[in-house]
């Protein structure tokens, strides 16, 4: 029965994440293709750009969103497997991405359930944890609703849902829905920490198996989502400090396993950092600021889950002091993330992954403590006979109550995505003050004409020849053709702002032919496309004919071969 309830809950969560995609597919306008993306297509196309290179037979990846020369020293197991899978099956990269997202979502939820069993002994509490993990969120919906109804931008937005900055990596449901790489990172961290814990709690023959698995999962974290490895390592360090302080003696087996784990993972992490430092494209991208909002914003973004976790933290400390040593790991993980997301580095918020898991575990503990605090309670309902409320029923009631007040942000996230899908991300809405815009966010749907241009480029160009186009198209061209673009992504394209100004000058014909030739030669830009995007950017009259000749045309869409 317990297994059936688990599978039913996991299936319900995963199927719910498909709802906005099915809406997007149902909404597909005539003459266009839907690429199975919601939220922000730009970042998801980055992962697909790597997968495209794997599909084309590459093992080490270049940044195809920029034309600056770089050695291409980076690889990623997720993208490799996705690219190989799509090459083998013939499934498109974008739909293959959704298949992988679904598989990773299943793995995450099942791993989280297993991980919770290291701390929570009650089966119903573990299911309550999974329910909170799968659906809970914060108070962000209140500000989005106020913005939508009044048209006025509030002084700030929270990050569980927002028309501006939303942090999928900070919320499990959002990660399950739009960020499979972040989901996979947390899954591997839970597996690594859980196996490391078991390696010191079981007999020696099983301990070696668990320690080997913890190393394997830890190494995968470094490759798949490097940022998540830093708090993971610090968690092991803090855990051992807690243990030494509490028992005032060393558990040599546990300490040996922890030390060896940290040493090997740090060695691998150091090698990864060395590779990144020698690749200017990836080094500059890592310097792009992705900072964590202030703590008040974060607390509001978790809402009642944050409040429940405060109560649960007290209970966890009590349990740890009374001999349940496993809680030291969860507390250490919480401390590690709290420290790392505010370190003076550019990629702060990328290290928040896993915080929602911790908060939901602590909240589940708090709910369990409240539900089982007393014996069965009896009360009278009018003139009816006395009824008894068992602790398990109270547990379910408390969980559902927290869930009801935590769900609206997820509804708001779906509603926002529906608004963006309806407008294909081409939004400049003057109903709002200030006007709301997503004008540089790539579309969800591309016309069949655009795709015919891309297919021609894929078939008639060389892999080292770059393409000049509007960034809305440039975000898709590397994925759909395997070719580099001059403009494609606000962070992955080096010097994006400066390049956008240069591209605007070319489309408007303001660059002399000699200046243009030098630029094209420097960046190996051999082709340019002219579509409705470039026409609008140039003010209605694109001047690309000054710099090359038309090789391929469908109605008003053209491919130019540039002169240099």
User: How many residues can be counted in the chain?
Assistant: 564
**Entry pTM:** 0.95
Q: How confident is the model at residue 202 (pLDDT cuts 50, 70, 90)?
A: confident
- How does 328-343 read in b/e, with b if 16+ C-beta sit within 10 Å? bbbbbbbbbbeebbee
pLDDT in tens, 550-564: 999 999 999 999 998
374: pLDDT strictly greater than 80: no
pLDDT in tens, 287-312: 888 999 999 999 999 999 999 999 99
Residue 67 dihedral angles phi and psi, to the nearest 5° = -105, 0
pLDDT in tens, 494-505: 999 999 999 999
Task: Give the mean model confidence (pLDDT) for residues 26-49.
Answer: 97
- Per DSSP, the three-state class of 95 is helix
Task: Give the mean model confidence (pLDDT) for residues 61-67.
Answer: 95
Helix axes 304-321, 355-371, angle to 10 degrees: 70
Q: Out of 133-137, 204-208, 521-525, which region has the weakest mean confidence (pLDDT)?
A: 204-208
* Whole-number percent of the chain with pLDDT over 70: 96
pLDDT in tens, 398-437: 999 999 999 999 999 999 999 999 999 999 999 999 999 9
- Taking the C-alpha atoms of residue 337 and residue 296, their distance in angstroms, rounded to an integer, is 16
pLDDT in tens, 478-489: 999 999 999 999
- pLDDT at 375 (0 to 100): 55
- How does 124-158 read in b/e, with b if 16+ C-beta sit within 10 Å? bbbbbbbbbbbbbbbbbbbbbeebbeeeebeeebb
Q: How confident is the model at residue 74 (pLDDT cuts 50, 70, 90)?
A: confident
| Euclidean distance between the first and the last CA atom of the chain, given in angstroms as a whole number | 71
- pLDDT at 250 (0 to 100): 66
464: pLDDT strictly greater than 60: yes
- pLDDT at 280 (0 to 100): 81
- pLDDT at 379 (0 to 100): 41
Could you tell me which of 459, 476, 480, 477 has the C-alpha nearest to residue 467?
A: 477
Give the residue, 222 or 372, on which the prediction is more confident. 222
190: pLDDT strictly greater than 50: yes
389: pLDDT strictly greater than 60: no
- Taking the C-alpha atoms of residue 333 and residue 159, their distance in angstroms, rounded to an integer, is 21
Q: How confident is the model at residue 282 (pLDDT cuts 50, 70, 90)?
A: confident
- Taking the C-alpha atoms of residue 9 and residue 6, their distance in angstroms, rounded to an integer, is 5
Task: Give the mean model confidence (pLDDT) for residues 58-82.
Answer: 94
Long-range contacts of 6-13 (CB under 8 A, 24+ apart): 6/113, 6/127, 6/130, 9/127, 9/130, 9/131, 9/134, 10/106, 10/109, 10/110, 10/113, 10/130, 12/134, 13/105, 13/109, 13/130, 13/134, 13/135, 13/173, 13/176
- pLDDT at 385 (0 to 100): 46
Q: Are 502 and 511 in contact (CB under 8 A)?
A: yes
- Write out the DSSP string of 210-276: HHHHHHHHHHHHHHH-GGGHHHHHHHHHHHHHHHHHHHSS--HHHHHHHHHHHHHHHHHHHHHHHHH
Q: How confident is the model at residue 376 (pLDDT cuts 50, 70, 90)?
A: low
C-alpha neighbours within 13 Å on the C-beta side of residue 170: 28
User: What's the mean pLDDT when you consider all of the chain?
Assistant: 93
Residue 464 burial by CB count (10 A; 0-12/13-18/19+): exposed, middle or buried? Answer: exposed
Q: What is the largest CA-CA distance in the chain?
A: 94
- pLDDT at 332 (0 to 100): 98
Could you tell me which of 68, 495, 474, 497 has the C-alpha nearest to residue 280?
A: 68
- pLDDT at 278 (0 to 100): 81
380: pLDDT strictly greater than 70: no
- Taking the C-alpha atoms of residue 34 and residue 27, their distance in angstroms, rounded to an integer, is 9
Give the residue, 380 or 389, on which the prediction is more confident. 389
65: pLDDT strictly greater than 80: yes
Helix axes 123-135, 2-17, angle to 10 degrees: 0
321: pLDDT strictly greater than 70: yes
- Taking the C-alpha atoms of residue 13 and residue 33, their distance in angstroms, rounded to an integer, is 27
Question: What single DSSP character describes residue 291?
Answer: P
- Per DSSP, the three-state class of 13 is helix
Task: Give the mean model confidence (pLDDT) for residues 128-156.
Answer: 97
- pLDDT at 9 (0 to 100): 97
Angle (CA) 352-354-360 rounded to 5° is: 120
pLDDT in tens, 523-547: 999 999 999 999 999 988 899 999 9
386: pLDDT strictly greater than 60: no
Residues with Cβ within 8 Å of 25's Cβ and at least 6 positions away in sequence, in order, are: 34, 36
| DSSP strand pairing (525-530 vs 466-468) | parallel
- Write out the DSSP string of 146-208: HHHHH-B--S---SSS-SS---GGG-HHHHHHH-HHHHHHHHHHHHHHHHHHHTTTS-HHHHH
252: pLDDT strictly greater than 80: no
Residues with Cβ within 8 Å of 329's Cβ and at least 6 positions away in sequence, in order, are: 118, 193, 197, 235, 239
- Write out the DSSP string of 21-61: HHHHHHTPPTTEEE-S--S-HHHHHHHHHHHHHHHTT-SSB
- pLDDT at 378 (0 to 100): 46
């Amino acid at each position: 029965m317990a297994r059936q309830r688990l599978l039913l809950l996991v299936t319900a969560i995963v199927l719910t994440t498909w709802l906005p995609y099915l809406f997007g597919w149902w909404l597909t306008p005539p003459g266009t293709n839907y690429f199975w993306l919601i939220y922000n297509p730009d970042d998801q196309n980055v992962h697909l750009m790597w997968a495209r290179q794997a599909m084309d037979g590459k093992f080490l990846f270049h940044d195809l969103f920029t034309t600056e020369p770089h050695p291409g020293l980076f690889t990623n197991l997720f993208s490799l497997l996705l690219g190989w899978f799509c090459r083998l099956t013939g499934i498109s990269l974008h739909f293959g991405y959704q298949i992988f997202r679904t598989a990773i979502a299943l793995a995450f939820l099942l791993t989280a359930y297993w991980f919770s069993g290291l701390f929570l002994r009650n089966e119903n509490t573990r299911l309550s944890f999974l329910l909170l993990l799968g659906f809970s969120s914060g108070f962000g919906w209140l500000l989005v609703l106020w913005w939508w109804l009044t048209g006025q931008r509030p002084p700030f937005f929270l990050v569980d849902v927002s028309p501006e900055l939303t942090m999928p990596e900070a919320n499990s449901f959002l990660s399950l829905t739009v960020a499979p790489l972040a989901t996979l990172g947390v899954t591997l961290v839970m597996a690594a920490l859980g196996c490391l814990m078991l390696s010191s709690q079981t007999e020696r023959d099983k301990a070696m198996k668990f320690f080997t698995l913890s190393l394997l999962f830890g190494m995968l974290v470094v490759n798949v989502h490097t940022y998540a490895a830093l708090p993971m390592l610090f968690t092991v360090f803090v855990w051992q400090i807690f243990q030494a302080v509490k028992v005032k003696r060393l558990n040599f087996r546990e300490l040996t396993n922890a030390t060896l784990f940290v040493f090997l993972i740090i060695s691998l992490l150091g090698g990864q950092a060395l590779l990144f430092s020698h690749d200017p494209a990836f080094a500059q991208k890592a310097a792009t600021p992705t900072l964590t909002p202030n703590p008040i914003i974060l607390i509001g973004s978790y809402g009642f889950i944050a409040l429940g976790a405060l109560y649960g933290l007290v209970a966890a400390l009590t349990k740890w002091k009374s001999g349940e040593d496993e809680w030291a790991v969860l507390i250490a993980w919480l401390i590690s993330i709290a420290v790392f997301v505010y370190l003076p580095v550019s990629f702060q918020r990328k290290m928040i992954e896993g915080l929602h898991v911790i908060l939901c575990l602590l909240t589940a503990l708090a709910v369990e403590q409240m539900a089982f605090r007393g014996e069965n309670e009896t009360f009278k309902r009018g003139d009816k006979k006395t009824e008894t409320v068992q602790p398990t029923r109270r547990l379910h009631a408390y969980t559902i109550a927290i869930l009801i007040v935590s769900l609206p942000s997820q509804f708001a996230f779906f509603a926002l995505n529906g608004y963006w899908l309806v407008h294909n991300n081409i939004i400049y809405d003057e109903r709002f003050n200030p006007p709301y815009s997503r004008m540089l966010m790539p579309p969800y749907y591309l016309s069949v004409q655009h795709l015919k241009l891309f297919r021609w480029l894929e078939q008639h160009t060389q892999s080292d020849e770059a393409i000049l186009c509007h960034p809305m198209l440039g975000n898709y061209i590397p994925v759909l053709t395997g070719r580099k673009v001059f403009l494609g992504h606000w962070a992955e394209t080096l010097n994006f702002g400066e390049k956008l100004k240069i591209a605007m000058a070319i489309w408007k014909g303001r660059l002399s032919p000699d200046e243009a030739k030098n630029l094209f030669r420097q960046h190996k830009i051999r082709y340019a496309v002219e579509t409705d995007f470039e026409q609008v950017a140039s003010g209605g009259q694109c001047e690309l004919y000054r710099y090359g000749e038309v090789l391929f045309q469908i109605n008003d869409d053209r491919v130019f071969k540039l002169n240099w």
